[in-house]
Chains A and B, each alone.
Chain A
Amino acid sequence: MEPQPVVVKGLRKSFGEQQVLNGIDLAVNKGEILAILGKSGTGKSVFLRLLIGLEQADAGSISIRGVDTTHLPMERLNEMRMKVGFLFQEGALYDSLTIAENVAFPLRRHTKLNDSERADKVRALLLSVGLDKDLEKMPSDISGGMRKRVGLARALALDPEILLFDEPTAGLDPITAAEIGKLIQKLRQERNVTSIVVTHDMHAAHYFSDRIVMLKDGNILIAGTFEDLEKSKDPFVAEFLSDAA
């Protein structure tokens, strides 16, 4: 049987005296879109960074496609990273490279495509996120929404099986935010990728996710569908839902 794409057990992380994650247990199914919600500073982004190995966990285990990644050597960790795409909050585009070069960056390093094949792949990736012009522009010359699309195209370059999104709709107008949400769903339909989306936007999470996990004080407060959250009597959940209404 194929292992679940992401399985997290007893995950703990602290920075100095501050306990950020206090024993998280979570499993994500193949093709699922999971939204992680919580107030700012509750460790949502840290959770994503732990999954991709940008931070070291204090305790617990992270299993990606059946392999425990918490103590992997760098070579094996990089092999895992090639199967996981990460969209950073502000896109994190390399500002010395053009849009096309940004998307080509992982292809140039991890594939044997020639220049022509790579250019075709870059065009196809950018087209898949709704960008078909201005490919030679610099990241500083495009809008925040476009930067996130380019970041998404770059994250998709190595055909990942898992996608991690850090606040994909933050700072965007409602129309662009909805377009990003549609893109996340389209990726599941076309590529059957598993997505974990960190957001504080309940409205967006309701729109594109299958399941919602809410973090509070480093623990999972509630996990379930939007309807499950609506049934909850917890005042914190009710407050989040009222904000989304």
Chain B
Amino acid sequence: MATSLSAPAPQTRPVTEDFATAGFEWFGELGAFCGRVAKAMFSFPFEWSEFVHQLDAAGSKSLPLIALAGAATGVVLSLQSRASLVRFGAKSMLPTMLVFSIIKEMGPIITGLVASGRIGAGIGAELGSMKVTEQIDAMEASAVNPYKFLAATRILACIVVLPLLTLAADACGILMGWVANTLSEPISFQLFINNGMNGVAFSDFLPPTLKTAVFGLIIGTVSCFQGMRTRGGTAGVGRSATSSVVLSSLFIILADVLLVRLILVFFP
């Protein structure tokens, strides 16, 4: 009797199918997480002291880095744009170009991306560490809702501080843009600002600044979610911190595209 020596081919699922399943599971779990946090957020009493603590952790402790990033952006924009504008005989447009670039896009997106690294990694690692050392379980066992105490306070703090940090980044960017410009061609700060703000409407400033509240929502939600679902000891904590930053940054970039389009619809 003839027998086949070859083993039957294993039935493997395509990698794309596994990836899709994992993606659907992730979004499903994220939806359930958001539901729990939203329910906890609007239930009495609110954790004010933890919220204030998180405002400090996410806000004032991120301020130096965000300010530095904003300042560097202003300097680079000024240096890079100057040569091009001189070539086209539009040197006098530099302050306007700088102010528009910073307040409409560079300030908000730089703030969002830097904050996703600074705040997102911090939240992901902190909650991940709390998860693997059973601190979140201990909180739940002592009848304290971790979705309220840990997640809701951090998400709200991110939503509040991102626009404020954006203001700081915008201010530092414009100030250092002026400094970089003045080193090449001295100009008073008042004249620079007057030129820069010429034609800037409230609608140029407010929607881009407030859109960073959505970036804050993304950073807080994704980082808390990744942190609170950590598994696998210290290696898992590292993975949570990294994935918090990567996913937050990715969603911020995608959200930025949508929000810019939306802002252009409502403020053409």
Contacts and interface: CB of A to CB of B under 8 A. Distances in A.
A96 B133 CA distance: 13
A39 B134 CA distance: 21
A88 B142 contact: no
A60 interface: no
Interface residues on B, range: 10 to 19
Interface stretch (A6-14, A61-69, A103-111, A122-130): A103-111
Contact of A54 (B129, B141, B144): B141
A78 B142 CA distance: 8
Which of B129, B135, B137, B140 counts the most chain A CB atoms within 10 A? B135
Contacts of A154: 138, 142
Interface residues of A, number: 27
Contacts of B9: none
B142 A93 contact: no
B257 to A, nearest CB: 37
Interface in A61-111: 74, 78-79, 81-82, 84, 86, 88-90, 92-96, 105-106, 109-110
B143 interface: yes
A187 to B, nearest CB: 17
B145 interface: yes
A8 B142 CA distance: 21
B142 A89 contact: no
B143 A106 contact: yes
Contacts of A82: 142-143
Interface string A128-170: 0000000000000000000000010010011000000000000
A81 B143 contact: yes
Contacts of A92: 133-135, 137-138
Contacts of B129: 95
B135 A95 contact: yes
Contacts of A86: 138, 141-142
Nearest to A164: B141
Interface in A35-64: 49, 52-54
B145 A88 contact: no
Contacts of A52: 141
B142 A74 contact: no
Contact of B142 (A81, A90, A96): A81
Nearest to B45: A109
B133 A95 contact: yes
A224 B178 CA distance: 82
Given A88-B134, A90-B133, A92-B135, A105 B145 contact: no
A231 B145 CA distance: 46
A74 B143 CA distance: 9
A84 B143 CA distance: 10
A54 B139 CA distance: 11
A92 to B, nearest CB: 4
Nearest to A89: B134
B134 A90 contact: yes
Which 6 A-B residue pairs are closest in the complex by CB-CB distance?
Answer: A92-B138, A78-B143, A92-B134, A81-B143, A86-B141, A106-B142
Interface of A: 49, 52-54, 74, 78-79, 81-82, 84, 86, 88-90, 92-96, 105-106, 109-110, 151, 154, 157-158
21 contacts: A54-B140, A54-B141, A74-B145, A78-B145, A79-B143, A81-B140, A81-B141, A82-B142, A82-B143, A86-B141, A88-B134, A90-B133, A92-B134, A93-B138, A94-B139, A95-B133, A96-B126, A106-B142, A106-B143, A109-B143, A151-B138
Given A95-B135, A157-B142, 20 more contacts: A53-B140, A54-B140, A74-B145, A78-B143, A81-B141, A81-B143, A82-B143, A86-B138, A88-B134, A88-B138, A92-B135, A93-B135, A94-B130, A94-B139, A95-B130, A95-B133, A106-B142, A106-B144, A151-B138, A158-B142
